Amino acid sequence: MIPVRGLQGQKVAILGLGRSGLSAARALAAGGAVPICWDDNPAAKARAEAEGFICQPLKTPSDFDDIARLIVSPGIPHLYPEPNPVVAAALEAGVPVDNDIGLFFQSFATEAWNSFDVAPRVVAVTGSNGKSTTSALIHHILSEVGRPCQLAGNIGRGVLDLEPPIDGEVVVLELSSYQTELARSLTPDVAVFTNLSPDHLDRHGGMGGYFAAKRRLFAEGGPDRAIIGVDEAEGRYLAGQLSEGRADDRVIRMSVEQKLTGPGWQVFARKGFLAEYRKGKQTASVDLRQVPGLPGAHNHQNACAAYAVCRSLGLAPKVIERAFHGFAGLPHRSQLVGEKNGVRFVNDSKATNVDAAAKALMAFENIRWICGGLEKEGGLAELGAAASVRKAYVIGREAAAFALKLPVAAEVCTTMARAVEQAMRDAEAGDVILLAPAAASFDQYDNFEQRGEDFMAEVARHL
């Protein structure tokens, strides 16, 4: 646990008592603060009370008279699509609003670091797609070379559940826009921006607000090194804002769409090869085509980001390349789950938006595509990558309407069981049956993991 520093003896309100909320309450109490908790869910409130935490309503500005700060769980919208009444009451009372990420950064460094030979470092990864794989890949590479490291944030443990760092340790954090938008302290040593595509637009009031939430990791924190994907206009803009000029190697630009040259520091992947350029000269090359855990251009972007982070931490190119080959990938992200009669089955249930699904489609050929669910803002127009799709099998409550918007032949299946059955009926040797929904899962499942597990269970039943 990371005890929260700087709030000793003060009352701190916590809104939302899920994983991060309860973790924040424990860490605040460990640091000498007095947590005051609230959640509209009676079961969540009961769990907090069972641990001895005070629970009381937070409804009006007067409820915040003796509160030093309000900590909001990431799943709770605070401003859009409409102001949260508890957050509004805190702000009206003049109480600062924060989250567990802000508490982590204000509490991570301690006096114990004075005796360390190498100060611990924090790597923070954000972006629309690929941040989980990138974070896990960085953690894997560091583990392979024996560097002490921990993984947390939007993946693995909550940030305040981490162990206090030891000499030379690296903490790798995956941070979503929900986590970066409110944190009052954001001070990573290395920060990564993978890419940007429309997602969570209702939560952020549009693309501008969504990008602004991601940008805070760089603008508020001022990392020593920034690794920026420049294949979108927003990434190029961000790199330009952070850089003092073309030769400023504090910014590492990365791409999977173009060769990057110039006097600075660049990492890019083309035709399956990763290349590193510094001061206009190539310094390293890695063949990604034979790395089974990183298939497709989208994973090559993840490899570029992880490579750049590890190079900035002092690892040699050949060391990173060897570690790539031991990476098994993450569940529900281009996960090969089986093969029968020359037909492969791939689970990419994490492809919850159009951009992620398009990248998954570009990674394979001869695809029997299982897709559908709760369509997100922005529509399905960008699914031009569906050229490699032989047929789509659409699931979800609105499967018929979803199918009409697809640029390929589609069969309305509604359920996962029928989609897998029909795709297997049609499949031929050399085909890939790919789950890449391009939609949220909440019309049929609790989360994308449950959807992916359903797909794998149906595949296993037939295999």
Return binding residues for ATP: 127-133
Helix count (H) and strand count (E) of the chain? 15, 20
Contact predicate 239/270, CB 8 Å: no
Contact predicate 230/236, CB 8 Å: yes
- Amino acid in the structure at residue 176: S
The token duo for 433 is 């049956």
Q: Which helix (H) or strand (E) holds 100?
A: helix 100-107
Q: What's the distance, Cα to Cα, between the start and end of the chain in Å?
A: 44
Contact predicate 59/185, CB 8 Å: no
Handedness of CA 343, 349, 351, 354 (dihedral sign): positive
Ramachandran quadrant class, 150 (left: phi over 0; alpha: psi -120 to 50; beta: rest):
beta
Q: What Cα–Cα distance (Å) separates residue 75 from each residue in 100, 152, 176, 182?
A: 12, 17, 11, 12
Displacement of CA 416 from its chain's centroid (Å)? 25
Q: Which helix (H) or strand (E) holds 125?
A: strand 121-126
The token duo for 44 is 């969540």
Q: Hey, is 434 helix, strand or coil?
A: strand
Q: For the chain, what is the radius of gyration of the CA atoms?
A: 23
Q: How far apart are CA 92 and CA 11, in angstroms?
A: 18
DSSP string, 327-392: ----TTSSEEEEEETTEEEEE-TT--SHHHHHHHHHT-SSEEEEE-SBPPTT-STTGGGGGGEEEE
DSSP conformation class of 275: E
Contact predicate 358/383, CB 8 Å: yes
- Amino acid in the structure at residue 96: P
Within 8 A by CB and 6+ apart from 3, the residues are 27, 30, 31, 32, 107
Contact predicate 278/265, CB 8 Å: yes
Side-chain half-sphere CA neighbours of 198 within 13 A: 17
* Of the candidates 442, 443, 436, 439, the residue with the CA atom closest to the CA atom of residue 376: 439
Residue stretches of the annotated binding site: 127-133
Q: Looking at 22-81, which runs of residues are DSSP E strands?
A: 34-38, 54-55, 67-72
- Amino acid in the structure at residue 392: A
